[in-house]
């Protein structure tokens, strides 16, 4: 009887008993209030984005503007994340299921994630402002696309790695039950990817906060483009040396991050726990009061039954019917012709772009070439040193946190806050301290790279440790594996695919963060060190697009080389030797 009572206490948290006595309408009031708040926010945003594009607004440093600025920043990040999620699923699915496409898509993904935000800035902003020249929407879309370029890569790598590491017996079961591609995606592939996707989504949003200052306030040649938001607020306050405003801006950002953690990420982690691949349920699992409220809501259940369920059932039945029907021959021929036409068009676009790029690169002087090559060597050494340094502490700490759900519930928001706070807002203080002790920007750039990249490894290691099946841990306990043997037999093999994903994304993040780590302004004074990031930042400010393009091409070439020599081989090792299957 005591065991049954204990099980009941673990299954139903204390607030569930309280909420069962509250009328269902009252329990749905917070959900109704949240829905109305989101609706009001969307109306306010649409009204602002549809306004005429006049002179760039002044960024005020009053406390009263912080709620409005927070709304604008959260909206940009949320829209960019929604687009990133859709691109992630499509891109990772195609790369994981098409071997020919995989050979091109994965190196391309690794290359794109390493290209700094400022390298995307000129073409993105010119294109978006050109599409909407008389509306504020053009600059807003440009900022959202820039945030998207900092979010999507590690999410895509995570889902791709999960799809490639699905146990063989699960794939065979899907074949036995003759699941269509849609049923297999919904019932097997996305659930198996859920844990890694949730943790990498947190890292993506944290990365968006990190680069928010560069995405909301920037210069393009002689044009000063700025958008009201927390990023531009912090940038303006830091440039003005107003540390009081910086403190208030950081406090507002931390408050928003904590609120998002409680309302979004903690429920998502508790929800994703049901997709853990194990035969023995863990004694401790993540819990979320918000998730319990959502599950008990009659309003959401009714809305899902009326809208989501019929659409999902209709799509599933339709695709299942198509899966069982024999495809006519002309359909495959039509598909081949379509693929050939699309490939020809893509090849023509690539040839045109390469030709224009060669013409642009031919204008670079010998001094510019020497500057690019010297900076590339310096940044490469910094990036590799930072990766080794970050892995030394994130692997043991991430495993320790991931194996303890209660500790993860406490450490998760702290790590997310630390990963989200823009280091560029704190960098003036760090740099001044380093200059006083004789360190300068050479040491400061390594510190800033660490602040911007170590979290990719930490979040992935936590996700990998939390995904280790409970039955494997119990087997290790039965055989008395401790210390080095436990790390060699269980922990390192269990987290290896996640660790590789973290290192790949951290490497790209380090190259990306070099644009703010190697070149910065404090009180109208510019500090820089030798590096490719400094070259890109300086050229973006001066409008020297030829050197900017050359530096970006060199960076992409170096990343592709490292991908082929190192990361591709480690991914192959993770998919063969360290794949979780019986």
The arithmetic mean of pLDDT across residues 168-180, rounded, is: 85
Domain range for 502 is: 72-276+337-576
One domain, residues 202 and 77? yes
Would you say residue 211 lies in a domain? yes
Q: Is residue 228 part of a domain?
A: yes
SS3 content of the chain, % helix, strand, coil (to 5): 80, 5, 15
Number of domains forming the structure of the chain: 2
User: Residue 86 pLDDT more than 90?
Assistant: yes
Structural domain includes residue 21? no
CA distance 444 to 424: 11
Q: How sure is the predictor about 88, in pLDDT bands with cuts at 50, 70 and 90?
A: very high
Tell me whether residue 298 is in a domain. yes
Tell whether 12 is covered by a domain. no
Distance CA 531, CA 382 (A): 9
* Cβ–Cβ < 8 Å for 423, 448: yes
Give pLDDT, residue 114.
65
User: Among 415-424, 472-481, 562-571, whose mean pLDDT is lowest?
Assistant: 415-424
Handedness of CA 46, 51, 54, 59 (dihedral sign): negative
Return the closest-CA partner of residue 90 out of 183, 143, 152.
152
CA distance 298 to 287: 20
Q: Is 429 a residue whose pLDDT tops 70?
A: no
Do 80 and 134 have their domain in common? Answer: yes
In a domain, 57, yes or no: no
Q: What is the pLDDT of residues 370-405, one digit of tens each?
A: 888 998 899 999 989 999 999 999 999 999 988 887
Asked if 493 and 434 sit in the same domain, the reply is yes
**Distance from C-alpha of 60 to C-alpha of 64, rounded to nearest angstrom:** 9
On whether residue 231 sits in a domain, the answer given is yes
Residues 397 and 535 in one domain: yes
Neighbours of 487 (CB within 10 A): 17
Residues 389 and 490 in one domain: yes
Q: Each residue of 100-137: pLDDT tens digit?
A: 888 888 878 877 776 766 566 667 767 776 676 666 67
pLDDT of res. 389:
92
Mean pLDDT of 476-490: 85
Residues 128 and 163 reside in one and the same domain: yes
Q: SS3 of 52, please? A: strand
On whether residue 35 sits in a domain, the answer given is no
Mean pLDDT of 496-513: 82
Which tens digits make up the pLDDT trace of 305-352?
Answer: 777 778 777 777 776 666 565 444 444 455 456 656 766 776 777 787
For residue 40, how many C-alpha atoms fall within 13 Å in the half-sphere facing its CB? 8
In this structure, are 496 and 470 located in the same domain? Answer: yes
């Amino acid at each position: 009887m005591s065991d049954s009572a204990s099980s009941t206490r673990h299954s139903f948290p204390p607030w569930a008993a309280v909420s069962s006595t509250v009328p269902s309408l009252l329990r749905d009031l917070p959900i109704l209030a949240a829905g109305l708040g989101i609706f009001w926010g969307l109306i306010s945003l649409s009204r602002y984005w549809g306004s005429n594009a006049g002179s760039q607004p002044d960024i005020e440093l009053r406390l009263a503007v912080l709620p409005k600025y927070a709304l604008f920043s959260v909206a940009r990040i949320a829209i960019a994340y929604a687009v990133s999620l859709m691109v992630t699923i499509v891109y990772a699915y195609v790369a994981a299921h098409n071997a020919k496409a995989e050979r091109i898509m994965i190196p391309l993904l690794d290359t794109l994630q390493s290209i700094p935000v400022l390298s995307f800035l000129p073409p993105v902003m010119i294109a978006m402002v050109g599409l909407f020249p008389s509306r504020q929407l053009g600059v807003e879309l440009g900022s959202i696309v820039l945030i998207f370029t900092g979010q999507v890569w590690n999410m895509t790598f995570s889902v791709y790695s999960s799809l490639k590491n699905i146990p063989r017996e699960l794939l065979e079961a899907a074949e036995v039950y003759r699941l269509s591609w849609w049923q297999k995606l919904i019932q097997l592939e996305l659930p198996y990817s859920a844990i890694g996707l949730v943790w990498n989504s947190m890292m993506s949003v944290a990365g968006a906060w990190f680069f928010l200052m560069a995405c909301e306030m920037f210069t393009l040649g002689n044009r000063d483009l700025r958008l009201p938001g927390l990023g531009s607020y912090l940038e303006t306050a830091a440039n003005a040396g107003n540390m009081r405003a910086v403190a208030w801006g950081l406090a507002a950002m931390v408050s928003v991050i904590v609120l998002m953690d409680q309302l979004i990420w903690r429920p998502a982690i508790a929800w994703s726990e049901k997709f853990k691949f194990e035969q023995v349920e863990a004694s401790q699992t993540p819990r979320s009061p918000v998730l319990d409220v959502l599950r008990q809501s009659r309003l959401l259940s009714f809305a899902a039954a009326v809208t989501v369920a019929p659409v999902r059932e209709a799509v599933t039945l339709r695709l299942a019917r198509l899966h069982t029907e024999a495809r006519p021959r002309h359909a495959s021929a039509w598909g081949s012709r379509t693929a050939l036409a699309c490939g020809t068009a893509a090849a023509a676009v690539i040839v045109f772009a390469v030709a224009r790029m060669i013409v642009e690169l031919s204008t670079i002087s010998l001094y510019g070439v020497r500057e690019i090559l010297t900076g590339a060597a310096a940044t490469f050494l910094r990036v590799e040193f930072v990766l080794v340094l970050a892995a030394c502490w994130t692997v043991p700490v991430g495993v320790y946190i991931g194996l303890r759900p209660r500790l993860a519930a406490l450490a998760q928001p702290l790590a997310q806050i630390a990963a989200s706070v823009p280091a560029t807002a704190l960098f003036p203080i760090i740099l001044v301290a380093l200059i006083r002790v004789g360190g300068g920007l050479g040491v400061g750039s390594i510190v800033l790279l660490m602040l911007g990249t170590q979290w990719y490894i930490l979040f992935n290691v936590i996700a990998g440790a939390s995904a280790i099946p409970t039955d494997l841990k119990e087997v290790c306990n039965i055989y008395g594996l401790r210390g080095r043997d436990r790390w060699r037999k269980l922990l390192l093999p269990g987290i290896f695919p996640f660790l590789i994903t973290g290192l790949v994304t951290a490497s790209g993040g380090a190259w990306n963060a070099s644009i703010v780590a190697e070149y910065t302004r404090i009180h109208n004074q510019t500090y820089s060190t030798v590096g490719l990031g400094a070259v890109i930042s300086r050229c973006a400010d001066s409008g020297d697009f030829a050197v900017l393009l050359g530096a970006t091409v060199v960076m992409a070439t170096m990343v592709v080389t490292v991908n082929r020599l190192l990361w591709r081989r480690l991914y192959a090792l993770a998919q063969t030797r360290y794949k979780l299957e019986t």
